[in-house]
Amino acid sequence: MGACDKTGTGDQDPTETDKIPMGTLDIAFTYRLQGVPAKRLKKVDLCLAETADYLYLGKFFTCTNVSDAVTHYQFQLPPGTYFYYASVICLCAGDSCKYAGFSGQNSLMVAGGKVEVLEGQTTTYTTQFH
């Protein structure tokens, strides 16, 4: 009897027959902040949570490795409502970060939002940092 085959015949794996309907979430992680050189802004986090409360508490069900060279991140998810958290850091010295809307030197700016994933479809969302 196989570990996954509950029938004992060995010819059927429940993971193949019990497919969960999925949708695609495509997040465009972009930012255009004025007054700071692009080389001094770095992506830090891109995480997803199942509820707004979980997002606030940092109880993410997934976080992806982010890179300044990548703009789009895709997640295969069951249909439903999800909440995202994205952050960038300003690495300028002095008050340059404050002029761009950060709280100070070496500080984070956070964006978040609610997105709907639909079965068999791709939902595209663009981060918005203010």
Which pLDDT does position 11 carry in this prediction? Answer: 60
Which segments of the chain are extended strands (E)?
A: 23-28, 41-49, 62-63, 72-77, 80-90, 108-117, 122-126
- Topology of domain 21-126 in CATH is Immunoglobulin-like (2.60.40)
Give me the residue spans of the domains in the chain: 21-126
In tens digits, the chain (130 residues) has pLDDT values of 445 555 566 666 555 556 889 999 999 999 877 788 888 999 999 999 999 999 999 999 999 999 999 999 999 999 999 999 999 999 988 788 888 888 888 889 999 999 999 999 999 999 988 7
Q: Report the distance separating Cα 83 and Cα 54, nearest Å.
A: 9
Reference 23, options 129, 127, 125; nearest CA is: 125
Which pLDDT does position 1 carry in this prediction? Answer: 43
3-state class of 121 per DSSP?
coil
Which pLDDT does position 37 carry in this prediction? Answer: 86
Using the CB atoms, write b or e for 12-36: b if 16+ within 10 Å.
Answer: eeeeeeeeeeebebebebebebeeb
